[in-house]
């Protein structure tokens, strides 16, 4: 048996009440981590998940649409657990209705980038500051990173998405941020990586996936001819925070059934 253990590590997962986030919360908790996750409006789902997992898991109600919101969430995590060893920036919005750039409301553009990018800046800034204060996280394993950051991007951030330029721009920025921060932070022992999913069975994609016409169109672009389950995204996220990924930094891990190669 090969263990993927994060025993006693403190992990902050954003958007943890549903979908990919909830799957990641469960998986990191199973790996022995102390997990904090935020939610905005899904209080019932968040509280149910925290009760299900019991000790070493807390749900924090926190809006994420400004840098200050991100810094506040990190501070609340540190207040609860005393440190932070891994940040998983998973939250985000995807406005489901097509919005051609010629008519896209400026409010939509600003809202999407505020949630998907501005808050990530605040989260990352505060988490990195704390990781640097902590120094080497595991003195007993000096060859292992002092901290991990994993951004959740999208295939849209790699190849664009017509009529969803706001979403694609925000997710593309996370890919660029991954590469920039890896070069900046790897010398200080912090590994920064990115997971780029394709279509996943989540509430955010439900409208498109349940419509027969759009579902058929989506599946035609995926060589595996199905969409991912949330756990299939959470697993790679977990791997990137384990000792087995201790020499990986600046990578964009595609988890999309091969779709990014044929779209």
Chain-centre distance for alpha carbon 106 = 25
Nearest to 84 by CA among 158, 19, 3, 148: 148
Tell me if residue 167 is catalytic: yes
Which one of the listed residues 39, 81, 121, 167 is annotated catalytic? 167
What is the C-alpha to C-alpha distance for residues 67 and 71, in angstroms, rounded to an integer? 6
Q: Which residues contact 49 (CB under 8 A, 6 or more apart)?
A: 16, 17, 22, 25, 26, 37, 57, 59
Degrees to nearest 5, angle at CA 21 with 18 and 23: 85
DSSP assignment, residue 28? H
- CA dihedral (250, 140, 73, 76) in degrees, to 10, reads -170
Q: Residue 150: which H helix or E strand, with range?
A: strand 147-152
Which positions are annotated as active-site residues? 167
């Amino acid at each position: 048996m090969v263990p993927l253990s994060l025993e006693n590590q403190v992990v902050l997962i954003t958007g943890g009440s549903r979908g990919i986030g909830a799957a990641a919360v469960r998986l990191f908790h199973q790996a022995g981590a102390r997990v904090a996750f935020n939610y905005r409006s899904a209080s019932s789902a968040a509280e149910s998940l925290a009760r299900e997992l019991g000790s070493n898991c807390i749900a924090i109600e926190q809006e994420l649409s400004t840098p200050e919101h991100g810094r506040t969430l990190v501070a609340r995590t540190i207040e609860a657990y005393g440190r932070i060893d891994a940040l998983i920036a998973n939250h985000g919005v995807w406005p489901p209705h097509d919005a051609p750039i010629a008519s896209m409301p400026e409010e939509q553009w600003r809202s999407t980038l505020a949630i998907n990018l501005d808050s990530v800046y605040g989260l990352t800034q505060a988490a990195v500051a704390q990781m640097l204060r902590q120094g080497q996280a595991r003195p007993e394993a000096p060859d292992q990173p002092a901290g991990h950051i994993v951004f959740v991007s999208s295939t849209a951030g790699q190849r664009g998405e017509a009529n969803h330029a706001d979403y694609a721009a925000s997710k593309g920025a996370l890919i660029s941020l991954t590469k920039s921060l890896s070069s900046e932070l790897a010398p200080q022992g912090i590994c920064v990586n990115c997971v780029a999913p394709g279509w996943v069975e989540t509430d955010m994609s439900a409208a498109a996936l349940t419509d027969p016409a759009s579902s058929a169109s989506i599946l035609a672009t995926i060589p595996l001819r199905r969409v991912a389950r949330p756990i299939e995204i959470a697993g790679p996220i977990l791997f990137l925070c384990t000792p087995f990924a201790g020499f990986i930094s600046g990578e964009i891990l595609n988890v999309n059934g091969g779709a990014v190669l044929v779209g």
